[in-house]
Structure 1
Amino acid sequence: MPGHWWQSLRARLEPAPVADPLWRRALLACPLARRLDPERQQQLRRLAALFLARKRFHALAGAVLDDYWRLLIAMQACLPALQQGAASLRGWREVLIYPGEFKVRRSHHDDRTGVVTEGDEVLAGEAWEHGPLVLSLADVQLDLEQPWDGYNVVVHEMAHKLDMLDGPPDGVPPLVEIPRRRWIQQFQQAYDRLVSMPADSHDSPIDHYATESASEYFAVVSELHYSQPTLLRQAEPTIAELLEAFYGRSPAEGCEPPGFCRSR
């Protein structure tokens, strides 16, 4: 008789499929997944089952999680990984869920003066290299209710996770068919264009938060790929092309309304 270790290994390699009633319910609540073609929906269903088998969810600070919400989070987390496959989910295990925005303590070292200051930062999501994926459940719910507004916290943090598969985040995830030099050149040029704009400019749909770093730029435009691809294509056609090659065609094509994104 196979031992417990074998059953555990098999469950990780071949997880039980998501039950039909639960899948149908979650699909109705997730417009991004609902707009995938049937073949990609089935790929997402299998990948979400694998995600649920490999990742450990922890509800913190009074957050309430059930199988339905775990699946909704897994579905959105697996959308950016759909074209990259199961291997892109490697390197971390924990998903931490807060009921709403959460505070983190940051230390800042001023290179000029040598002074270190500390302060709290309020976040809706965070991704650590080799560490947990941290999410606000309220923001996950808002993204499901407003899928075409330019934001998706799960997609944003999963873009960071993909970026960190080959080391510290630098805005360049592992690339297979896309020339790395072209990616770096085009993203650097687009990043520089956004940096040159005033912070209060309305000339681009790309949130100015993307100027924080190359990694944040990649995560922010990944959100636009999944929620407002038409606006992204108008603002940065080459970036839109590269993201479509990396992620596949956006399920938001033809859905997003005109106008820019909601404010962060």
Structure 2
Amino acid sequence: MEDNLWQSILTGTPWVSALDEVRAERLRALTALFLHRKTITPLAGLRLDDAQRAQLAALCCLPLLEFGEAGLRGWSQLIVYPDAFRVQRTHTDAAGVLHEWEDDLAGEAWDHGPLILSWADVQADLAEPDAGFCVAVHEMAHKLDVLDGELDGTPPLPDAWRGRWARDFQRAYDDFCMQVDLGRDTTLDPYAAEAPEEFFAVVTEYHFSAPHILAEAMPDVAAHLQRFYGPSPMAPDAE
């Protein structure tokens, strides 16, 4: 990757500028690979220059610092809308009644298709890098999750680690869902209670953007994510 593009990423992307030199160079290589392998398609009149495309690639590669380029398998396109985008949802309940509704989304990851982001939401995340949100790493967590063939909140792991991960994440997820069901205020985004895969994606956001909150609320989960992703760039002792 050209020096000027990389410098623009360092200047405008707090999570990247906070990395130590070794991990920053690793991210630079992954970002270049992303730009080579993936098609970035802006829609609805959005225009993205080379620096903005490179920044999006770098954000998507943050969760791959330890996992590596294998995390790019299985899909080929990043679609970017100017703002939140609307999708049609359907669900058939236990009584056989079909329900239809529309959702406005900041991001979406199809199991074997594109990753989709809202440019406005990416910019909002960059403006508050320690607020607990990063839609790009949220959707990349889904891409990692599904690599083992099942979207279940557990990415590909060695067998021994997988068992400990499943135990600790299930315990934390069950407790979090109970808090949400009881109507209690939670330190993490209550959207994490939607499903195990959303729980994994949301705690991934907190690992990268508010690791102190995650460590205090769910120390076992935080420890697994530190091992899986490496130290958070927003942790006080990350550099």
TM-score range, shorter chain: over 0.9
Q: 1:205 corresponds to which residue?
A: 187
How far apart are the structure 2 equivalents of 1:43 and 1:180?
A: 25
Aligned 8 A contact 2:138 2:202 in 1: yes
Please list, as runs of the form range in 1=range in 2, the aligned pairs for 1:54-203 lying within 5 A after superposition.
54-111=37-94, 113-176=95-158, 179-198=161-180, 200-202=183-185
Superposed CA deviations along residues 31-87 of structure 1, whole A, max 9, x for unmatched, are 101111011111100000000000001111111111111111110100101100111
Where do 5+ consecutive residues of structure 1 fail to align? 1-17, 256-264
Which amino acid in the other structure matches residue 40 of structure 1?
A: R
Aligned 8 A contact 1:159 1:222 in 2: yes
Find the residue that maps to 2:63 and give its secondary structure.
Answer: coil
- With the length of structure 2 as denominator, give the TM-score of the two structures: 0.96
How far apart are the structure 2 equivalents of 1:178 and 1:28?
A: 40
Q: 1:260 corresponds to which residue?
A: none
Find the residue that maps to 2:180 and give its secondary structure.
Answer: coil
Shift of 1:201: 2.3
Q: 1:226 corresponds to which residue?
A: 208
Where do 5+ consecutive residues of structure 2 fail to align? none
Find the residue that maps to 2:101 and give its secondary structure.
Answer: strand
RMSD, aligned CA: 1.3
Identical amino acids, percent of aligned pairs: 48
Find the residue that maps to 1:106 and give its secondary structure.
Answer: strand
Q: 2:36 corresponds to which residue?
A: 53
Aligned 8 A contact 1:178 1:245 in 2: no
Equivalent residues, number: 236
Aligned 8 A contact 1:178 1:246 in 2: no
Find the residue that maps to 1:197 and give its secondary structure.
Answer: helix
For the pair shown, which has the larger CA radius of gyration, 1 or 2?
Answer: 1
Higher relative contact order (CA 8 A, sep 6+): 2
How far apart are the structure 1 equivalents of 2:142 and 2:123?
A: 20
Which amino acid in the other structure matches residue 124 of structure 2?
A: L
Superposed CA deviations along residues 151-179 of structure 1, whole A, max 9, x for unmatched, are 00001000000001111310000013861
Q: 2:8 corresponds to which residue?
A: 25
- With the length of structure 1 as denominator, give the TM-score of the two structures: 0.87
Shift of 1:116: 1.0
Bigger helix share: 2
How far apart are the structure 2 equivalents of 1:205 and 1:168?
A: 28
How far apart are the structure 2 equivalents of 1:79 and 1:195?
A: 28
Superposed CA deviations along residues 188-242 of structure 1, whole A, max 9, x for unmatched, are 000000111135422x322111111000000000000001111111001000000
Find the residue that maps to 2:79 and give its secondary structure.
Answer: strand
